[in-house]
Amino acid sequence: MADTVKLFDYLSYFEDTSQTFAEVLPKEEIEGEVIPGFIKYDNRIIDFAKEYMDLSLGKGDYTDYIQDFLVSKPSVAEWKEFIQHADLETIQSFLTYFVRKEQFKNGEMKWASENGIIYQLLSRLKEVL
């Protein structure tokens, strides 16, 4: 876990939720087929996600830890309250969720970054280590 401190270098980046973390690109029409726009992330988010996975912090069984919470469709305030009491496995599970979910649903990291969720997860991770 000693290498985990590298992630704390991103705290100041994720703390400023007023910045643009990602750009939503417009839809395109190609040969009559509408191609939905996708999200182009700031390089720091891409670097963070890569570093997180390179540190082998990702949890393969992450849904086991957070599924009940996610099913409740929590508000941002509920996310922040829940994170305040999260243990190490839960923090890792949420970070894994956001990094991996982005492979299937554009916008998860954008939402979590803009709403201060990634910042709170990193702050809590720093507390529990």
10-residue stretch averages of pLDDT, the chain, 129 residues long: 84 96 81 77 94 83 87 93 94 92 79 96 95
Distance CA 13, CA 119 (A): 8
Entry pTM: 0.87
Strand, helix or coil for residue 107: coil
| pLDDT score at 77 | 96
pLDDT of residue 122: 97
- The residue with tokens 């949890």 is 59
**For position 95, what pLDDT does the model report?**
94
Give the number of other Cβ atoms within 10 Å of residue 69's Cβ: 16
**Tally: H helices and E strands in the chain:** 7, 4
Distance CA 45, CA 27 (A): 23
Backbone phi, psi, residue 24, to 5°: -90, 115
